[in-house]
Amino acid sequence: MPFLKRALRAIVYYKKNTLLLFLIFTILFSLVLSGLCIRNASQEATRRTGLAIGGSVLVQSMGDSAQASALTLESAQKAANHPAVRDYAFVGQVLACAADFRGMGPAFEDITAGDYDLTLKGSNGLHPELRDDCRLIEGGIGETGYAVVNQWLADANGLSIGDTITVAANRAGGSPVELAVTGVYYRNTGYHYGETEQYAENMIFTDLGTLEKLGGGGLLQWAEYTVTDPADIPGFMADMEGMAFPEREDLGFIALDGDYRKVAMSMETLVNVATLIFAAAIVLGVVLLSAMVMLSLSSREYEIGVLLSMGEGRWKVIAQLAVETLLPVLLGVTAGVLASGQTAAVAGDLLGASQKGVEVGIGGPAIGLVYLCGVATALLASCVTAYKVLRFQPKKLLMSIE
């Protein structure tokens, strides 16, 4: 292709222009790739940090326990099946009566004659209160039909691991449920006020099935879902409504991801800055290149006129000038890619990437993207060329001399 040969020779001949283009685009695309690098590394660091910090969603019943609530064991289980959920804890509570033993009161022998003696707290695993506020001194939890009792209650009733106790739904002879004592716990502080069932010693930890048998109706106080990636929390919360809790009036939904959000926000700022650098560099590239192309065209009008007067097609002239622009730009992009390896290393150090196990580098897609940007920049600037050449009148070449 003759225009290609002319283009290559012109690139060598107009070496100052070529070198300038090359340098500008080396610098610009170093910036572009650095921006991309920082952006990608920030996003990866955010993701890793998120996985390490974790997050959860708390769903709790806000209404009176006597009222209907949408937080049933069944609906909570549906939400637990969401792919974002890594683990979950369900917690419920019912009041019951001690059928074959005595609950603690102001004085052991003098039980306050309330409707209920006991507070039974159930969970699908180790109850959070048992885990966080108490100390297991003997045994542990069971699978189903178990009771973990307070040390004072056990001592007062002569209970030990392996014994059974019977609890009833209410004094009027509600369904009794037999529980096996599988553990004893100690609680440092108790509260003693009001009704008997509020005495800390009268708190028994058991399973959710037991609560259901005691007439809990499968209702839960709250459910906490631990997600694998806190970034999935918004999506999970949006899905939950349709999945499990279509009637949400009595429910509160709380995202427990404060720590993750702090990290994500600071990283987001970095990502935005990097994206800005990327966009600014592209725009600057187009503007600079267009300006250089226009200047160059002005000084080569005669040359263009001669080519057109010889009968060369306008589009071939445009193609020649486009190649003269494209080649230095692509060489500049290549140099920018090579130079940005250093920038990537610096960005990685700043982000503490190695400590987080994040590899900061430039992948194939990023390199492909910058080459595409380089080509697009050159083609956009070539539109200036095309506009001028298509409007150029070869007769001006002769007329201007007359």
Partner 1 sequence: MEPILEFKDITYYYVSGGKRIDILEDADCSFEPGKLYTIVGPSGSGKTTTLTLAGALESPRGGHVYYRGKDIREIGYTEYRNRNIAIVFQAYNLLPYLTPLQNVLAAMDITKNPIEDKKRRAQELLARMGLTPDQMRRNINKLSGGEQQRVAIARALATDADILLADEPTGNLDADTAQGIVEVFQELAHQDGKCVIAVTHSQEFSSQADVVLRLQEHRLAG
Kindly indicate which of the ranges 171-179, 225-233, 242-250, 302-310 contains the residues binding partner 1, using the contact rule CB under 8 A.
302-310
365 lies in the binding site for partner 1 (CB under 8 A): no
13 lies in the binding site for partner 1 (CB under 8 A): yes
Give the pairing of strands 251-256 and 55-61: antiparallel
**310 vs 296: CA distance, rounded Å:** 21
DSSP per residue over 2-18, as a string?
HHHHHHHHHHHHTHHHH
16 lies in the binding site for partner 1 (CB under 8 A): no
Q: Please, which residue, 1 or 276, has the CB nearer to partner 1?
A: 1
DSSP 56: E
389 lies in the binding site for partner 1 (CB under 8 A): no
Report, in Å, the least distance between residue 304 CB and partner 1. Answer: 10
The number of residues that bind partner 1 (CB under 8 A) is 25
**401 vs 8: CA distance, rounded Å:** 30
395 lies in the binding site for partner 1 (CB under 8 A): yes
| Angle at CA of residue 291, ends 285 and 297, nearest 5° | 130
Binds partner 1 by CB under 8 A, chosen from 19, 62, 276, 306: 306
Kindly indicate which of the ranges 38-46, 143-151, 301-309, 364-372 contains the residues binding partner 1, using the contact rule CB under 8 A.
301-309
* Both tokens assigned to 145: 């039909």
Q: Please, which residue, 253 or 302, has the CB nearer to partner 1?
A: 302
Kindly indicate which of the ranges 51-59, 147-155, 298-306, 339-347 contains the residues binding partner 1, using the contact rule CB under 8 A.
298-306
Binds partner 1 by CB under 8 A, chosen from 2, 158, 242, 365: 2
Residue type, 299: S
Give the pairing of strands 164-168 and 85-98: antiparallel
385 lies in the binding site for partner 1 (CB under 8 A): no
Using CA atoms of 125, 127, 131, 133 in order, give the dihedral in degrees to the nearest 10: 180
Binds partner 1 by CB under 8 A, chosen from 313, 341, 357, 368: 313
Kind plus residue range of the DSSP H or E element containing 123: strand 118-123
318 lies in the binding site for partner 1 (CB under 8 A): no
298 lies in the binding site for partner 1 (CB under 8 A): no
4 lies in the binding site for partner 1 (CB under 8 A): no
Q: Please, which residue, 19 or 338, has the CB nearer to partner 1?
A: 19
Is residue 131 within 8 A of residue 200, CB to CB? The reply is no
Report, in Å, the least distance between residue 317 CB and partner 1. Answer: 10
133 lies in the binding site for partner 1 (CB under 8 A): no
Report, in Å, the least distance between residue 311 CB and partner 1. Answer: 3
**402 vs 399: CA distance, rounded Å:** 5
**20 vs 191: CA distance, rounded Å:** 81
172 lies in the binding site for partner 1 (CB under 8 A): no
Q: Please, which residue, 371 or 392, has the CB nearer to partner 1?
A: 392
Report, in Å, the least distance between residue 35 CB and partner 1. Answer: 36
Residue type, 305: G
CA distances in angstroms from 280 to 15, 187, 274, 293, listed in the order given: 27, 62, 10, 20
315 lies in the binding site for partner 1 (CB under 8 A): no
Subset of residues 189 to 218 that bind partner 1, contact rule: CB under 8 A: none
Of 215, 197, 226, nearest in space to 105 by CA: 197
SS3 readout for 140-207: CCCCCCEEEEEHHHHHHHCCCCCCEEEEECCCCCCCEEEEEEEEEEECCCCCCCCCHHHCHHHEEEEE
Kindly indicate which of the ranges 12-20, 76-84, 232-240, 343-351 contains the residues binding partner 1, using the contact rule CB under 8 A.
12-20
398 lies in the binding site for partner 1 (CB under 8 A): yes
Binds partner 1 by CB under 8 A, chosen from 6, 82, 127, 213: 6
Residue type, 382: S
Report, in Å, the least distance between residue 5 CB and partner 1. Answer: 8
- The binding site for partner 1 (CB under 8 A) comprises 2, 6, 9-10, 12-14, 302-303, 305-307, 309-313, 393-395, 397-399, 401-402
